[in-house]
Structure 1
Amino acid sequence: MSTLALVADAVFTPFAEFAFMRRALVATLALSLSSAPLGVFLTLRRMSLLGDALSHAILPGVAIGFMVGGLSLTAMAAGGVVAGLVVAGLAGAVSRFTPLQEDASLAALYLVALALGVTLIARNGTQLDVLHILFGSALGVDASGLLLVAGVASASLVALALMYRGLVLETFDPVFLSAHRTGVPPWLWQQGFLMLVVLNLVAGFQTLGTLMAVGLMMLPAVSARLWHVTLPAQLLNASAQAALAGGAGLLLSYHLDTPSGPTIIGCAGALYAISLLIAPGGCLPRWRAGLLRPA
C-alpha cells in the first residue's frame, strides 16, 4: 500500500467507522464556525482575556447544574449561561461604581468563580467528574450535546449576521455609533456580544471543557490577525484554522490515545506558531523586510 493510501486510511477510517468520531467532528466544526469569529471581535476590541475570564466564570453555574441534575447537559448548560452573564454583569457594575477597571474586576471575579466551581464539583462528585467538566471530552459528545452545539452555532451565526454592522461600528468607532441614532442603544451591542460569547463557551465546555473552550475561540483569531488586515478575511481565516485544528486534534487524539480537548487546542497552538513564523505579519517576513530596507 502506498504512503498516500496509508495517510488517507488513517484520516478517513476513524470517521467512517465510528459514530462518536463523526459526532465529535460535527460538533468541533460547528464550534469553529461560531466561536472563532467571536474571538476575532474580542481581539479587535482588545478584550482577548475576557473570553478566558468568562470561560472560568461559567464553572460555578455548571457545578450547580451538576449538583442538581448530575451530568445532565441541559442543567449544566443552563447554569453555565446564568453564571457567565451574572459575572459579566457584576464586572460591569463594579467598574461603573468603583475606581476599578472592568478587566481588574473580571480578574478578581473569575478567580473566585473558578475556586468556587472546583470546590462545589469536588465536594459533590468524583475526581473524574472534575476532570470531565474542566477538560471536556469531544469523543464523548452524545446526540443531545451535538444538538446543543449545533443550535448555539446556528443561532450565533444568525445573530452575528444581524449584528455585524453595529458590532463593527461599536468596535472601530463607538463615538460615531453614539452620535447617530440607529434605534439600538450602544450598550446593547456590547451586552448582546457578551451573551454570544457566553453561549459559545457553554456550548464548547462539553467538548473542550471549561478551561479549554476559550482556546478554539482565541488561538485561531489571534493567528488570523497575522495573515490578514481586513475583517472579513480574518473571520474566514479564523474559522478555517479552528476547523483544521479540530479535525487534526480529533485524529491525533484517536491514534495517540490522548485527551481530545487539549489535543485540539495543541493543534491550534501549532497553527499559531506557524503563523508567527511565516504569516505576512509574522517574524520571518518582517525580518526579511528589515533586511531589504535601505539604511
Structure 2
Amino acid sequence: MYNFLISPFVEFEFMRRALVGAIALALAGSPLGVFLLLRRMALTGDAMAHAILPGAAMGYLAAGLSLGPMTVGGFIAGLIVAVGSGVVARTTILREDASMAAFYLISLALGVTVISLRGSNIDLLHVLFGSVLALDDATLLLLASIATLTLIGLAFLYRPLVMETVDPGFLASVGNAGGPTQILFLMLVVLNLVGGFHALGTLLAVGMMMLPAAAARLIAKDIGSMIALAAAQGVLASYAGLIISFYAGLPSGPLIILIAGALYLLALAFGPAGGVLRRLRSRRHLEA
C-alpha cells in the first residue's frame, strides 16, 4: 500500500512539486469558490478564468513561456474584464452576467489568436490546460505566495464578506464597506485564477475553485464548515488525481478536476444538506 500511495511522491521530485502546487491552489481557491457560489457568482468565476487568457498571451508574445510577464499580463486582463463588466452593467441595459459573457468570449478568442501568432499547438495546449507536472521553483513560490496572501486577505475580509453574502442591505446600511470588499474579493479571485492558470491552464483553473465549493454546499450548512470541507476536498482531489495519472499515464490536470467532479457528484446524490436523496426523503416524509 505504501509503494502504491506514497512511493511516487518520495521517488519523483516532479510529483512532489505537482502535489505542493495543487494543494496550494486548493487551500486558497476553494474558500473563494464558496463565497462565489453563495454570492451567485459561479459563472463570473468561470468567465474571469478565461478573461486572463489575452493578458497571459500578450506576456507570452513578449517573452515566451516566462512566468513574470504571463502572470502580470493575466492579472491585469482579469481585472480589466471584472471592472469592465461591472461598468457596462451599470451604464447600459445589459445585466452583469450578459456583459461578463461577452467579455469572456472576446477574451478567449483574442487570447487563442495572439498565441497562434507566435506559438505552436503545443504552446496553446500548455496555456489552455496547464502543466502541473512541470512546476519549477519560481512557479511553486508564486503559488505559495498567492495562497498565503489569499488566506491572509480572506481572514481580513471574512466578516464583511459573510455579512454581504447573507444580507447585502445590512452592510450597506451600516457603512460603505461593500464596494471595497467586493473589489478586494475580486482581486483575490483573479490572483488565484492566474496562479491556477500556470498549473491547470485557463480552461481548468476555475474547477479547483468551484467543484469543491459546490460539493461542500451540499454537505454543510454553515459557511465555516463549507470552507473547511471545500479545502479538504480540493486537497483530496489533488492527491488522488496525481496518483491515478501517475499509474494510468493520463494528463494530471484534467484528472484532478475529474476527481473533484466525482466528489461533487457524490455530494449531489448523498449530501446531507441538499443532496438528491435527502430531498426525496423529505418529500416522502411530507407526503406521509
TM norm structure 2: 0.97
Task: Report the counterpart of residue 70 of structure 1 in structure 2.
Answer: 64
Task: Report the counterpart of residue 201 of structure 1 in structure 2.
Answer: 193
For residue 80 of structure 1, report the CA deviation from its aligned partner.
0.2
Q: Output aligned runs, 1:237-252, within 5 Å.
A: 237-252=229-244
Q: Could you list the per-position Cα deviations for residues 28-55 of structure 1 after superposition, in whole angstroms to 9, with x for gaps in the alignment?
A: 1111111000000001001110110000
Moved over 6 A (4+): none
User: Could you tell me which amino acid in structure 1 is paired with residue 238 of structure 2?
Assistant: G
**Correspondence for 1:286 among 244, 260, 279:** 279
Q: How many residues align?
A: 287
User: Could you tell me which amino acid in structure 2 is paired with residue 152 of structure 1?
Assistant: I
Structure 1: runs of 5 or more not aligned: none
For residue 66 of structure 1, report the CA deviation from its aligned partner.
0.3
User: Could you tell me which amino acid in structure 2 is paired with residue 74 of structure 1?
Assistant: G
Deviates more, 1:164-173 or 1:122-131: 164-173
Task: Report the counterpart of residue 8 of structure 2 in structure 1.
Answer: 14
For residue 257 of structure 1, report the CA deviation from its aligned partner.
1.1
Query: CA–CA distance in 1 between the matches of 2:82 and 2:268?
Result: 32
For residue 288 of structure 1, report the CA deviation from its aligned partner.
2.7
For residue 294 of structure 1, report the CA deviation from its aligned partner.
4.8
Identity %: 53
Is 1:166 matched with 2:157? Answer: no
Deviates more, 1:184-193 or 1:239-248: 184-193
Is 1:259 matched with 2:259? Answer: no
**Correspondence for 1:221 among 198, 213, 218:** 213
Query: CA–CA distance in 2 between the matches of 1:292 and 1:190?
Result: 41
Task: Report the counterpart of residue 60 of structure 1 in structure 2.
Answer: 54
RMSD: 1.0
Q: Could you list the per-position Cα deviations for residues 126-182 of structure 1 after superposition, in whole angstroms to 9, with x for gaps in the alignment?
A: 10000000001111111111000000000000000011011111211121111113x
Residues 178 and 66 from structure 1, CA distance in 2 versus in 1: closer, same or farther, beyond 3 angstroms? Answer: same
For residue 285 of structure 1, report the CA deviation from its aligned partner.
2.5
Q: Output aligned runs, 1:170-181, within 5 Å.
A: 170-181=164-175
Q: Is the 8 A contact 2:146 2:191 kept in 1?
A: yes
Query: CA–CA distance in 2 between the matches of 1:211 and 1:89?
Result: 21
SS of aligned partner of 1:160: helix
Task: Report the counterpart of residue 113 of structure 1 in structure 2.
Answer: 107
Query: CA–CA distance in 1 between the matches of 2:16 and 2:33?
Result: 25
Query: CA–CA distance in 2 between the matches of 1:233 and 1:278?
Result: 17
SS of aligned partner of 1:117: helix
Task: Report the counterpart of residue 271 of structure 1 in structure 2.
Answer: 263
Q: Output aligned runs, 1:132-143, within 5 Å.
A: 132-143=126-137
SS of aligned partner of 1:258: coil
Query: CA–CA distance in 2 between the matches of 1:95 and 1:277?
Result: 36
For residue 292 of structure 1, report the CA deviation from its aligned partner.
3.6
TM norm structure 1: 0.95
Structure 2: runs of 5 or more not aligned: none
For residue 286 of structure 1, report the CA deviation from its aligned partner.
2.3
